[in-house]
Amino acid sequence: MSAQDHQQPRRDAGVHIPGTDYVPHYTPPAWYQQRPQDAEPPIPWHSVAPPRSLEPGCHVCGARPVAHAEVRAHTGLLFFGWSRSVGEPLCRQCGISLVRTMTTQTLCRGWWGLLGLLFHTPVALAENAAAYRKYRALAPPTPVPGRRPLHLGKPVLRRPQVYVALVPLIWAIVLISSIALR
């Protein structure tokens, strides 16, 4: 190989092909190089999406307006239990759906522990009622294309799981009445 084969290509004229004198060079057509006088400037690639608002949208579907409320669910076990809470900004439909779901879970599973029966479940139900009022006060959401809100589902008292809460209530009534009749 000669020293001529190891020459660096010229950066300003394109790429040099070794062994030839040909240097490819592309010249754009005139219509591409010149814009009409009344043409708008090209849109940069990073500005194609619509501008985003500084106000956060719904955590689930991105819709606005949103409210910040704490929604809780409690599961009680004999001597202990656990609680879950969601405090994200939610629109009206997603917030009401979440309140219905977590209230149903609390009414079904929250009463089965001693602390749940006395403290955690009533507190969770009271906080969920406050969150429900807050979400109901919001205007209907404006949807965001490509994102779906949560399904509302049935109201809480039309869900069969809610009536499981009657079991500990009946148990407590029987226990108190048997102690009182002795």
Highest-pLDDT range among 30-39, 56-65, 172-181: 56-65
pLDDT at 55: 73
Q: Which residues contact 157 (CB under 8 A, 6 or more apart)?
A: none
Give the pLDDT confidence of 43-64 residue by residue, as tens digits: 666 655 555 666 789 999 999 9
Are 110 and 121 contacting, i.e. CB atoms less than 8 angstroms apart?
A: yes
Pairing of strands 67-68, 71-76: unpaired
Mean pLDDT to the nearest integer, 162-179: 84
User: Phi and psi for 122 in degrees, rounded to 5?
Assistant: -60, -35
Give the pLDDT confidence of 99-147 residue by residue, as tens digits: 999 999 999 999 888 888 889 999 999 999 999 999 999 999 988 889 9
- CA–chain centroid gap for 108, Å, is 25
pLDDT at 10: 47
Residue 163 has pLDDT above 60, yes or no: yes
DSSP state of 144: -
Collapsing DSSP to helix, strand or coil, 80 comes out as coil
What percentage of the chain reaches a pLDDT higher than 70? 74
Residue 7 has pLDDT above 70, yes or no: no
Tell me the one-letter amino acid at 10. Answer: R
pLDDT at 100: 97
User: Phi and psi for 86 in degrees, rounded to 5?
Assistant: -125, 125
Tokens 């102690």 belong to which residue?
179
